[in-house]
Amino acid sequence: MNLPVFGLGTFRLKDQVVIDSVRNGLELGYRVIDTAQIYGNEAQVGQAIADSGVARDELFITTKIWVDNLSKDKLIPSLRESLGKLRTDRVDLTLIHWPSPGDAVSVREFMTALADAKTQGLTRAIGVSNFNIDLMQRAIDVVGADAIATNQVELHPYLQNRKLAEFAQRQGIALTSYMTLAYGKVLSDPVIVEIARKHDATPAQVALAWAMQLGYAVIPSSTKRENLASNLLATSLRLGDDDMARIATLDRSERLTDPDSLAPAWD
């Protein structure tokens, strides 16, 4: 399947805030919604989708299996619970959110269970998130590279993750960039600001367009309707080779998400 390149993230959005964000996004034309079991907002996302009147077949919904649910006896039941909250009989993409801490559940066990969920029609596609090269290779060894739709990772101008990106590209696995704006830090970067001014664009549009031009999918979130609308315009912004080269120089391996209990040894 072809992974959609632009969607709406819901990380850290809860209760009425996430309902409003998803509702606004759908009204503006977003059709890709990214959530996760640990976000605690699947039911609200499901409510916003149901209330929107947008046909299910027009939507692409992603959720992620939390580490507590990775074992073969828990993964599929937990996904069924997510489907109930999301008010749908299947999602379009299911990811392993983080690798199992300390390999408590083997990659073989959870990737086999995830593939089984796809066979059962609970998800159209499967993938991983926050996997380093070693973990990606182990997942490939279980289900094959063709079965892995994406690896969703932190990736932004300050953390360009080139080694991982090159490995994924060789395997034909798409990367999804989360935190593409680095919690907003890149929005005041002089290089990004200057490129934005040149294109009569916003710094956020420049960062998002940069990631998409490199072939990555992006899932920015916002609680403000005007920012949701503005971000969507990044899909039509085309940066020049010189712009891309200047942004390439901003990489400083600045990782903002690195939870001790979950993170693998990054490449």
Summarised one tens digit per residue, pLDDT across range 167-176 is 999 999 999 9
Considering only CA atoms, which of 161, 235, 228 is closest in space to residue 10? Answer: 228
The pair of structure tokens assigned to 123 is 């998800």
Distance, first Cα to last Cα, the chain: 27
What is the reported pLDDT for 250? 98
Tell me if 50 is assigned to some domain.
yes
User: Does a structural domain hold residue 122?
Assistant: yes
Tell whether the model's pLDDT for residue 234 goes beyond 90.
yes
Indicate whether 62 belongs to any domain. yes
Q: Is residue 259 part of a domain?
A: no
User: Which tens digit of pLDDT belongs to each residue from 80-131?
Assistant: 999 999 999 999 999 999 999 999 999 999 999 999 999 999 999 999 999 9
Question: Confidence class of residue 21 from pLDDT cuts 50, 70 and 90?
Answer: very high
> Does residue 97 have a known ligand-binding role?
yes
97 within domain boundaries:
yes
Residue 2 has what pLDDT?
85
Contacts of 184 (CB under 8 A, 6+ apart): none
Residue 221 lies in a domain: no
134: domain CATH number? 3.20.20.100
- By annotation, the residues acting in catalysis are 39
pLDDT tens digits for range 44-80: 999 999 999 999 999 999 999 999 999 999 999 999 9
| Spatial contact of 34 and 8, defined as CB atoms under 8 Å apart | yes
**Average pLDDT for residues 2-26, to the nearest whole number?**
97
Q: Is the predicted pLDDT of residue 265 greater than 80, yes or no?
A: yes
Mean pLDDT, range 243-247, rounded to an integer? 98
Q: Which domain holds residue 141?
A: 8-181
Number of domain units in the chain: 1
Per-residue pLDDT tens for 249-259? Answer: 999 999 999 99
CA distance 120 to 97: 20
**What would the pLDDT profile of 132-174 be if each residue is shown by its tens digit?**
999 999 999 999 999 999 999 999 999 999 999 999 999 999 9
What pairs with residue 125 in β-bridges?
A: 93
* Distance from C-alpha of 178 to C-alpha of 129, rounded to nearest angstrom: 10
Classify residue 52: in a domain, yes or no: yes
Residue 1: the pLDDT is: 76
118 in a domain, yes or no? yes
Task: To the nearest 10°, report the CA torsion of 152, 145, 112, 135.
Answer: -60
